[in-house]
């Protein structure tokens, strides 16, 4: 006895008005649509995950670049301040003080 025969015996087929072949086609089409929808959603999820990973990686690279630039700017400001303090005249200090103040983060 097959599995299908067991199912047919358990279900009262007389209450269905549509032929079994029509129901089978309908159920198969429903299953195929569900599988197609699931596969589309799965591929969209994968695309979104890859995009999110790429964006996070890009953001991290930009953050590191910005931090390196800030460190370089701070070092240059410190060097300029040291040079100004060591060898600059009072007139140069008056002229460069606003410039240094504008460069401060």
pTM above 0.85, yes or no: no
Domain interval for residue 56: 3-103
Does residue 86 have a pLDDT over 50?
A: yes
Q: What is the band of 63 on the pLDDT scale with cuts at 50, 70, 90? A: very high
Mean pLDDT of 53-81: 95
Predicted confidence at residue 73, as pLDDT, reads 94
Cα separation of 105 and 98, whole Å? 13
Give the other-Cβ count within 10 Å of 80's Cβ: 15
Q: Are 84 and 94 in contact (CB under 8 A)?
A: no
% of the chain surpassing 90 pLDDT: 50
Number of domains observed in the structure of the chain: 1
What residues contact residue 23 under an 8 Å CB cut-off, 6+ apart? 16
């Amino acid at each position: 006895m097959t599995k299908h025969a067991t199912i047919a015996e358990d279900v009262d087929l007389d209450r269905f008005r549509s032929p079994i072949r029509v129901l089978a086609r309908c159920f198969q089409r429903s299953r195929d649509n569900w599988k197609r929808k699931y596969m589309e959603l799965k591929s969209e999820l994968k695309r979104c995950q890859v995009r999110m990973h790429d964006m996070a990686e890009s953001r991290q690279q930009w953050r590191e670049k910005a931090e390196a630039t800030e460190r370089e700017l701070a070092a240059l400001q410190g060097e300029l301040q040291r040079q100004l303090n060591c060898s600059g005249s009072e007139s140069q200090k008056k002229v460069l003080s606003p410039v240094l103040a504008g460069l401060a983060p």
